[in-house]
Chains A and B, each alone.
Chain A
Amino acid sequence: MSEQTQEKSTDESANGSPKPTSPNADLKLDFASFWEYSEAPESSDHVEITERYDHFINGDFVKPAKGRYMKSVNPATEEVFTEFAEGTSEDVDSAVRAARRAYEKKWSRLSGKERGKYLFRLARMIQERSRELAITESMDGGKPIRESRDVDVPLAAAHFFYYAGWADKLNYAFPGRTPEPVGVCGQIIPWNFPLLMLAWKIAPALATGNTVVLKPAETTPVTALKFAEICLDAGLPDGVVNIITGAGLTGAEIVNHPDVDKIAFTGSTEVGKIIQRSLAGSEKKYTLELGGKGPNIVFEDAPIDQAVEGIVNAIFFNQGHVCCAGSRLLVQEGVAGRLITKLKERMETLIVGNPLDKNTDIGAINSKSQYDRINNYLEIGVNEGAEIYQSSNTIPEKGFFCRPTLFTGVSQSNRIVQEEIFGPVLTIQTFRTPDEAVEKANNTPYGLASGIWTDKGSKIFKIGRQVRSGVIWSNTFNKFDPTSPFGGYKESGIGSEGGLHGLHPYVKLK
């Protein structure tokens, strides 16, 4: 299954004696010569995708007022997947009116217990249609079916299930206060986890008694519209959930609509700042989940093989289209050589290709524009003097695919170290002391998520306290759960989503 590498490890521990290693420590991963690769594509025959999708307003699918449609492209084939309505101010206005009516006439008058039962229904129906939703997600957005099937869709259902239970227990969530709903929530979500982000937004909003107008991203609108069908099937009262599709201009209409009480946005820091600015002087509440440039810190005493798996999961999960990705590897000098060698070997085994293939590790880059953006950063990295390494995997000729990429020889001030690339691109820096690791980890405008790898528990707590980010993954990475709060420090956002903390943005405390 594997062959021994010729080179003997030269790593030494701090006191100069050779590190104890297992007899298999230097075995090289090699799957390809043992197994013949055979495709295992998921069948998509049973998934119904209509040629054209309309807005979902007040319990009905409604044609856009201006009659304009946009195209969603399957990034793995570059073929048009479907068409969807382009929302204008008229569409947004009728959605907000519907949401307001539903809020006043129906949803805010319903008891928490009954609201919760609707949410349980939604959770169950997402589970029932999970295969269809997973395939749709992979075709519309390019993510590997293994991830949409095992992560996105089950977690989306779990979010509804979790918040359903809160609906009649809100009085226990805020000691000394009585929570009241905010009203109509405008929610704008990104393209990296379309259905999951919808669940993060809609589940807590409905549980706390609000109604919503949600806009999915323009490259991945389809699962949101399938969720609209689920709302109909679940008998959710008209207007409680409204879905308006479109691009940034449509989002701006939602943000600026005078009858929206709260804005929840997940997306880039750049757009987040524009939204925060356009809300200046208004009474609207808002939460922002923005970008990141997560440090993944590996100490010499870390379990190296686990760390390598963690690094791969941190940066190559979902093609690196993850705001909390561990995109900056900080590795302690003594193990840097061995770790990078192992990482490169592991990267060789990653399969880049058809998102619907169950073997695929890295699917398609979500869109042409993101593909161009990543390639631009690869050029920037090279021009900044960094050394680039890409795996030698074959990638499909058609579609937007990017090989997993490493940059070594980078410095803290490099753009590829400071700016969010949002692709399968990892920068690697080394450090000597824990203080230096913390200094480098904190030295970006972001603060969303960080990784710490060490076998020493006390070190996890010390470093974990000093690193300024909303999530600390120790000896693991990219784990999510509806009970676990998620949110950024500094320019990574304002407010938390998920868990008990995720109720707060959707209530007024009396």
Chain B
Amino acid sequence: MSDRIEVLKTYKTYVGGKFPRSESDRTYKITDPKGKQIANACRCTRKDVRDAVVAARSAFNEWSNRSAYNRGQILYRIAEMLEDRKDQFVKELEKSGTKSKEAMKQVEASIDRIIYFAGWTDKLSQVFGTVNPVASPHFNFSSPDATGVAGIIAPDEAPLLSAVSLIAPVLSGGNTCILLASEKNPLPLVSFGEVIHASDVPGGVVNILTGHHSEMVDHLSAHMDVNAVFNTTAEKETRKLIDENASISVKRVTHYPETDWFNEKHENPYLILEFMETKTTWHPVGN
């Protein structure tokens, strides 16, 4: 009996509920800390960003119109699926040099974080909505309403946990998103796309791209059909570029240059509100 040859995984992207390769047909090497190649990842560029935005926009109406209860269940389902594949993600993180204890901690924190935000879907408008006692004879109420399509720029630190911490609040309010995965280690995010895919999340709600951020951030933040940008880059030039691009179509920009993703402060509803509008409805009270 000969030793079995391992089947290696081709890492692709996740767009519109499918797993296409980059339109550019280019890849870049993902290495471990010693410089040894682990895999090739897709090197996405402008066309991939545009396809992902189209997918996210098409999915927005359906996702934002799902009942809060249903969105909560689907987010919870993502956590279930991730729990089920814990070992896969631990291994993937280990390959790129994360210590195994650390990797397990990261995967478990990711699962818990999704559950935290799953629980907010049907409470947000109760805690942050209002019935407004206007002086005129009208019934008037305000409730949070999803902003639309969000572009998320994820950091390299704790690649799975950080991305999950960014995606979950955006999704729980009813937005759809395009995630630019960690440039250094996007592999767990590509696999996370498979988890999303298996969790009843409609195609296009989450879109995951890999590649050099410098080749995507400009296009993502300038795209007219993106409503909000969730940025973790602290680098000044990039920040300024995002802000300037945002002004082309009055995008909401949240800069979130965090590094400690295990901190529980990332579990708070105010992050969800960054991606919510307030809708106020009036109706006369009378005969």
Closest CB of chain A to B199's CB: distance in Å?
Answer: 25
B132 touches A485 (CB 8 A): yes
Partner pick for B250 among A272, A469, A484, CB 8 A cutoff: A272
CA distance A473 to B247 in the complex (A): 28
Which one of A72-80, A211-219, A273-281 contacts B?
A273-281
Q: Considering the chains assembled together, what is the distance between the CA atoms of A56 and B142 in angstroms? A: 37
Contacts A288-B250, A290-B250; is A484 near B279 (CB within 8 Å)?
Answer: no
Given A475-B284, A481-B132, A481-B135, does the pair A177, B279 have CB atoms closer than 8 Å?
no
Q: What is the bound-complex CA distance between A272 and B246, given in angstroms?
A: 12
Residues of A within 8 A of B127 (CB): 175
CA distance A209 to B101 in the complex (A): 47
In the complex, what residue of chain B is closest to A154 when comparing beta carbons? B135
Residues in A with CB closer than 8 Å to B236 are: 281
Which A residues, 476 to 510, have Cβ-Cβ distances below 8 Å to chain B? Answer: 476, 479, 481, 483-487, 489-494, 496, 499-501, 509
Q: Does B58 reach chain A (CB closer than 8 Å)?
A: no
- Establish whether residues B280 and A485, one from each chain, have CB atoms under 8 Å apart when the complex forms: yes
Q: Is A460 an interface residue (CB 8 A)?
A: yes
Q: Which residues of A contact B239 (CB under 8 A)?
A: 281
| Complexed CA–CA distance, A290 and B243 (Å) | 18
- Is A484 a contact partner of B142 (Cβ separation < 8 A)? yes
Q: Does B65 contact A (CB under 8 A)?
A: yes
Query: In the assembled complex, which residues on chain B have CB atoms less than 8 Å from the CB atom of A472?
Result: 279-282
**Contact status A473-B243, CB under 8 Å:** no
> Is B249 among interface residues, defined by CB-CB distance under 8 A?
yes
* Given A276-B247, A445-B249, A501-B130, CB of A487 within 8 Å of CB of B283: no
A499 touches B132 (CB 8 A): yes
User: Which residues of chain B are within 8 angstroms of A493 by Cβ–Cβ distance?
Assistant: 250
Query: Which residues of chain B are within 8 angstroms of A484 by Cβ–Cβ distance?
Result: 132, 134, 140, 142, 280, 282
Residues of B within 8 A of A496 (CB): 278
The answer for the CA separation of A125 and B260 in the assembled complex, in Å, is 51
Q: Is A327 an interface residue (CB 8 A)?
A: no
Write out the residue numbers on chain A whose beta carbons fall within 8 Å of the beta carbon of B130: 485, 499-501
Q: How many A-B residue pairs have CB under 8 A?
A: 111
Q: Contact: A474 with B240, CB < 8 Å?
A: no
Complex contact A481–B140 (CB within 8 A): yes
Question: Measured between alpha carbons, how far is A281 from B284 in the docked complex, in Å?
Answer: 44
Distance A175 CA – B227 CA, assembled complex (angstroms): 27
| Residue B270 at the chain A interface, CB threshold 8 Å | yes
Per-residue CB contact flags for chain A residues 177-191 toward chain B (1 = under 8 Å, else 0) read 100000000000000
Is the pair B136, A491 in contact by a Cβ cutoff of 8 Å?
Answer: no
CA A475 – CA B287 in complex, angstroms?
13
Chain B positions within 8 Å of A67 at CB level: none
Interface string of A227-260 (1 = CB under 8 A from B): 0000000000000000000000000000000000
The residue on B at minimum CB distance from A457 is B283
**Given A272-B250, A469-B279; A485-B142 close (CB under 8 Å):** yes
Q: Indicate if the CB atoms of B248 and A499 lie closer than 8 Å.
A: no
Q: How many residues of B contact A (CB 8 A)?
A: 37
- Kindly identify which residue among B138, B240, B280 contacts A280, using a CB–CB cutoff of 8 Å: B240
- Kindly list chain A residues whose C-beta atoms are within 8 Å of the C-beta of B244: 277, 280-281
Contacts of A352 in B (CB 8 A): none
A476 to B284 alpha-carbon distance, docked (Å): 7
Residues of B within 8 A of A280 (CB): 240, 243-244, 246-247
- Complex Cα spacing A490 to B146, Å: 11
A464 within 8 A of B: yes
A residues within 8 A CB of B278? 470, 485, 487, 496, 501
**Taking the complex as formed, is B133 at the interface, i.e. its CB lies under 8 A from any CB of chain A?**
yes
Q: Which of A280, A490, A500 has the most CB of B within 10 A?
A: A280
User: Is B268 interfacial (CB 8 A cutoff)?
Assistant: yes
For the complex, give the distance between the alpha carbons of A472 and B281 in Å: 5
**In the complex, which of the residues A269, A464, A476, A483 contacts B132, with contact meaning CB atoms closer than 8 Å?**
A483
Asked if A158 is an interface residue, CB under 8 A from chain B, the answer is yes
- Over the window 178-195 of chain B, the binary record of Cβ atoms lying under 8 Å from chain A Cβ atoms (1 yes, 0 no) is 000000000000000000
Please, which residues of chain B bring their CB within 8 A of the CB of A483? Answer: 132-135, 140
A471 to B100 alpha-carbon distance, docked (Å): 51
A447 to B, closest residue via Cβ: B277
B246 touches A276 (CB 8 A): yes
Asked whether B282 lies within 8 Å of A158 as measured between CB atoms, the reply is no
The 7 A-B pairs with the shortest beta carbon distances in the complex, nearest first, are A280-B243, A281-B240, A276-B247, A481-B134, A277-B247, A483-B132, A280-B244
- Pairs A–B under 8 Å by Cβ, sample size 30: A177-B270, A273-B247, A276-B250, A277-B243, A280-B247, A281-B236, A288-B250, A290-B250, A470-B279, A471-B281, A472-B279, A472-B280, A472-B281, A474-B283, A475-B283, A475-B284, A476-B138, A476-B283, A476-B284, A479-B282, A481-B134, A481-B136, A481-B140, A484-B140, A484-B282, A485-B280, A490-B148, A490-B249, A499-B132, A499-B142
Known: A288-B250, A460-B283, A489-B145. 18 other contacts (CB 8 A): A176-B269, A277-B244, A281-B239, A290-B250, A445-B249, A464-B279, A473-B282, A474-B281, A476-B282, A476-B283, A483-B135, A484-B132, A485-B132, A485-B278, A492-B250, A494-B250, A499-B132, A501-B142
